[in-house]
């Protein structure tokens, strides 16, 4: 997944038993084997390389993640698009032609135009899932990229496997997406503070922003964050987010620094936070309120950052 993970567990022994590490690692390996776009041998890699007009059987976890991704694509009107892999590739955020490696080729507008996802059968609309046979349709040339949702799923899977194995109290984190279950030894829930995005050279976040950021008690709850400050591309003094708007072919650029979403399922929180990041403040807040999504959007306003909470987030904080 191109990232790191941490797991905190209330375990009976110190050092924690080997089985605990194995439980975590096996869950993460499964997600990578099925959904990694770094590994051409993954099930996702095989889908992307499949000839036009083929039906491919999908293992259950991949099925679950793709179904969630397509649902969020539909709800968000394509702002979230798991079939935007070719565009993500073009911007250097996948495994090939990386923006941070020598030889990166800046995408030409004409190329982006060709990759633009439009028309009734293009992008996510062309990816059909057959419930009866658990197979998925490759219309030809579709490159799936589940990076905006699979990390969240991995968090859910690790958490579920830990619970099944009897480790009921844990905080799981993969690449900044988190899920808390049970409690800490002091009977407190797993408290997680939302971070103020920081830019090199920018002033420290002001007290007003820090005071407005919620602190979350993750008790059977997950939080996922999308942002433009951790992973982005700098070109001629400008920042380009790794969140691409599949409707324009360009990185989202509405001044949103980050979007965090709270949800019982980290997979859903992950997909929703990316969708809102693509939409921008106004449309994103309206979408969150429409869908009852608990979201915290941090908007750049000159050199300042301002936090905006959706109605569901305000209600949860209250």
In the complex with Mg ion, which residue's Cβ is closer, 258 or 274?
A: 274
For position 84 contacting ligand AMP by CB under 6 A, the verdict is yes
Q: Which of 43, 145, 156, 265 binds ligand AMP (CB under 6 A)?
A: 145
Under the binding rule (CB under 6 A), the answer on residue 226 touching ligand AMP is yes
Can you tell me whether residue 16 is helix, strand or coil? Answer: coil
Q: Any idea which residue has 């698009």 for tokens?
A: 81
Residues 143, 89 contacting (CB under 8 angstroms): yes
Q: Does residue 48 touch Mg ion according to CB under 5 A? A: no
Q: Which does 5 bind (CB under 5 to 8 A by kind): Mg ion, ligand AMP, none?
A: none
- Strand order from edge to edge, sheet including 170-174: 5-9, 170-174, 177-181, 221-227, 256-263, 294-301, 304-309
| Residue (88 or 218) nearer to ligand AMP, CB | 88
Q: Which stretch binds ligand AMP (CB under 6 A): 140-148, 179-187, 202-210, 260-268?
A: 140-148
Specify whether the CB–CB gap between 19 and 9 falls below 8 A.
no
- Is the CB of residue 243 less than 8 Å from the CB of residue 279? no
Alpha helices in 76-198 (DSSP H): 85-90, 109-115, 150-164
Nearest to 91 by CA among 234, 200, 257, 224: 234
CB neighbours (10 Å) of residue 165? 15
Give the per-residue contact string, 275-294, with ligand AMP (x = CB under 6 A; - = no). --xx----------------
Nearer to ligand AMP, 84 or 192 (CB): 84
> Rule CB under 5 A: is residue 147 a binding residue for Mg ion?
no
The answer to whether 218 contacts Mg ion (rule: CB under 5 A) is no
- Point out which residues bind ligand AMP (CB under 6 A): 80-82, 84, 88, 93, 145, 147-148, 226, 242-244, 246, 270, 274, 277-278
Binding residues for Mg ion, per CB under 5 A? 148, 226, 270, 273-274
């Amino acid at each position: 997944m191109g990232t790191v993970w941490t797991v905190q567990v209330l375990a009976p022994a110190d050092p924690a038993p080997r089985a605990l590490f194995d439980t975590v690692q096996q869950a993460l390996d499964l997600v990578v084997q099925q959904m990694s776009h770094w590994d051409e041998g993954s099930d996702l890699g095989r889908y992307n390389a499949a000839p036009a007009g083929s039906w491919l059987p999908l293992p259950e976890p991949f099925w679950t993640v793709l179904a969630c991704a397509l649902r969020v694509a539909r709800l968000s009107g394509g702002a979230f698009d798991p079939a935007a892999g070719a565009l993500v590739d073009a911007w250097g955020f996948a495994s090939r032609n990386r923006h941070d490696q020598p030889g990166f080729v800046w995408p030409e507008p004409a190329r982006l135009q060709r990759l633009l996802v439009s028309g009734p059968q293009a992008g996510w609309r062309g990816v059909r899932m057959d419930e009866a046979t658990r197979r998925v349709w490759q219309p030809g040339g579709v490159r799936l990229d589940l990076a905006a949702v699979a990390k969240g799923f991995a968090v859910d899977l690790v958490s579920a496997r830990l619970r099944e194995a009897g480790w009921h109290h844990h905080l799981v984190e993969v690449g900044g997406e988190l899920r808390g279950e049970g409690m800490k030894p002091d009977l407190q829930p797993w408290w997680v503070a939302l971070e103020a995005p920081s830019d090199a050279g920018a002033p420290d976040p002001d007290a007003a922003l820090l005071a407005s950021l919620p602190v979350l008690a993750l008790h059977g709850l997950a939080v996922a964050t999308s942002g433009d400050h951790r992973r982005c591309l700098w070109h001629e003094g400008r920042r380009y987010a790794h969140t691409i708007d599949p409707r324009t072919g360009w990185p989202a650029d509405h001044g949103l620094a980050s979007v965090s979403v709270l949800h019982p399922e980290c997979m859903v929180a992950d997909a929703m936070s990316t969708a809102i990041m693509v939409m921008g403040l106004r449309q994103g807040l309206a979408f969150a309120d429409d869908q009852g999504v608990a979201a915290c959007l941090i908007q750049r306003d000159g050199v300042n950052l301002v936090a905006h909470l959706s109605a569901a987030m305000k209600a949860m904080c209250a």
